[in-house]
Amino acid sequence: MQATVVTIGDELLIGQVVNTNAAWVAQRLTDLGIEVAGLVTVPDMSEAIQSELGRAIAASDIVIVTGGLGPTHDDITLSAVAEYFGVDVEFDADLFERIRKRFERRGLTVPESNRTQAMVPTGFEPLPNPVGTAPGLWYEFESDGRPKRLVVLPGVPMEMRTLMTDEVLPRLSRQERLPPIVYRTLLTAGIGESNLQEEIGPMEAYLDAGLKLAYLPGVRGVRLRLTAYPGRDVEALKRLDELAEEIKVRAGKYIYGEGEDKLEAVVGRMLRESGLKVALAESCTGGRIAGRLTDIAGSSDYFLGGVVAYDNTVKVEVLGVSSETIETHGAVSRHVALEMADGVRHRLKADIGLSSTGIMGPGGGSEEKPVGTVWIGYADGQSAGAVKIMLAGDRDGNREQATTIALNLVRLRLLKRKH
């Protein structure tokens, strides 16, 4: 069973409004076991709406359309849908009475333009909207000998979600009775998409129509999405677990969690279990590492505090970094990263000191040290080291990646201590 989601609106295409509706609808359909074949956005033009409607109906069993059901001149979805099916639109007195009462409860008179929201294409069933004036529409028909369903919903997110939750999803659930599509997501850090794929190696022996693997890179790491389709293969769920375990064996240390796990929470748990406390000396990350750690409730158990040592005088006077080290090697160097980490460890009496120093851009780089050059330092009294990374994103992306790499360095060091 496949579905296509069509979102309508010029504001979506020009980026004025973020299209959250498509992702939300797709997730809810997937939860029912309905495979989403496509997400499409079209402008407020009748020809474009009808053209995409034809493609979606040909490709899918269910078509969900959102947007363009308002009372203004640019809300043309209703007329475009009616024209596509060659049917008239009829005034629904009961619908208009609901709209009138909604305005009346707010002490208002219903504008004449809202009468358009009480128009329903012949053969369509209106779906009452408890949080807005535009009803949803439900239509069942046949195309090429196959049963189809078309759902037309308002584009206002709250209204769309209410109608989907109260009306559409229960109907589809009753009609389809499909086994849900099941996901497992493995979370990685410290490795890029290509290198991770090489580390895991070929997985063809596990993958087929009933089981899929996707690599989803982001600034905080690569997510591995494992998808099982029990409707295609009754053994899919069992094989999903087998696939996950095999990936864990192959990817090893790069996997830090699953699902909604957060790297900072995993690191925090490891620090708490080991009874260790960490302190931070941040330059290029500007406090982001501290922000990530303290996003987790109870982080005072293991996080003592930090110093944002942006200026070199702070590195020297507060952290105890040698001015000679800075003059000889530069602030962005292995030597300074090490002295920052060890300095904050001693100043705050922590078990672990973690530091960051780098050039985040867009300016400030040189041929020797281009933008994106970052050193992460670590010191715990037993060992010390620094990792050089070369980042290629924008300033915000570089800062986020450096923060993730720093947190992951602590995780890896704690793993090493444990074993």
Domain co-membership, 153 together with 42: yes
Domain co-membership, 10 together with 159: yes
Task: Report the SS3 class of residue 332.
Answer: coil
Q: Which domain-ending residue is among 122, 147, 176?
A: 176
Q: Judge whether residue 112 has pLDDT over 80.
A: no
**Any idea what DSSP says for residue 1?**
-
Task: Report the SS3 class of residue 32.
Answer: coil
pLDDT value for 163: 94
Q: Judge whether residue 157 has pLDDT over 90.
A: yes
Nearest Cα to 254, choosing from 409, 115, 135?
Answer: 409
Domain co-membership, 205 together with 310: no
The number of folded domains in the chain is 3
Domain co-membership, 169 together with 24: yes
Q: Which helix (H) or strand (E) holds 58?
A: helix 46-59
Domain co-membership, 17 together with 158: yes
Q: Judge whether residue 299 has pLDDT over 80.
A: yes
Domain co-membership, 337 together with 407: yes
pLDDT value for 412: 96
Domain co-membership, 152 together with 8: yes
pLDDT value for 94: 87
Q: Which residues pair with 125 in a beta bridge?
A: 138
Using pLDDT thresholds of 50, 70 and 90, give the confidence band for residue 314: very high
Domain co-membership, 285 together with 374: yes
Q: Which domain-ending residue is among 234, 258, 282?
A: 258
Using pLDDT thresholds of 50, 70 and 90, give the confidence band for residue 160: very high
Give Dmax over CA atoms of the chain in angstroms.
84
Residues of the domain holding 345: 265-418
Domain co-membership, 141 together with 108: yes
Q: What is the secondary structure of 261-325 as a DSSP string?
A: --HHHHHHHHHHHHT--EEEEESTTTTHHHHHHHTSTTGGGTEEEEEE--SHHHHHHTT---HHH
Over residues 210-236, the pLDDT tens digits come to 899 999 998 899 999 999 988 788 889
Q: Which domain-ending residue is among 229, 258, 287?
A: 258
Residue 356 belongs to a domain with what CATH number? Answer: 3.90.950.20
Please provide the average confidence, as pLDDT, over all residues in the chain.
93
Q: Which residues pair with 385 in a beta bridge?
A: 378
Q: Judge whether residue 294 has pLDDT over 90.
A: yes
pLDDT value for 132: 84
Q: How far is Cα 42 from Cα 20, in angstroms, rounded to an integer?
A: 15
| Phi/psi-derived region of residue 212, left when phi > 0, alpha when psi is between -120 and 50, beta in every other case | beta
Domain co-membership, 289 together with 241: no
Using pLDDT thresholds of 50, 70 and 90, give the confidence band for residue 155: very high
Q: What are the backbone dihedrals phi and psi of residue 120, each rounded to the nearest 5 degrees, phi first?
A: -130, 130
Report, as an integer, the average pLDDT of 110-132: 87
Q: How far is Cα 164 from Cα 137, in angstroms, rounded to an integer?
A: 11
Measured CA to CA in angstroms, residue 252 lies from 120, 190, 219 at distances of 58, 12, 20
Report, as an integer, the average pLDDT of 357-375: 96
Domain co-membership, 16 together with 108: yes
Domain co-membership, 147 together with 115: yes
Residue 151 belongs to a domain with what CATH number? Answer: 3.40.980.10
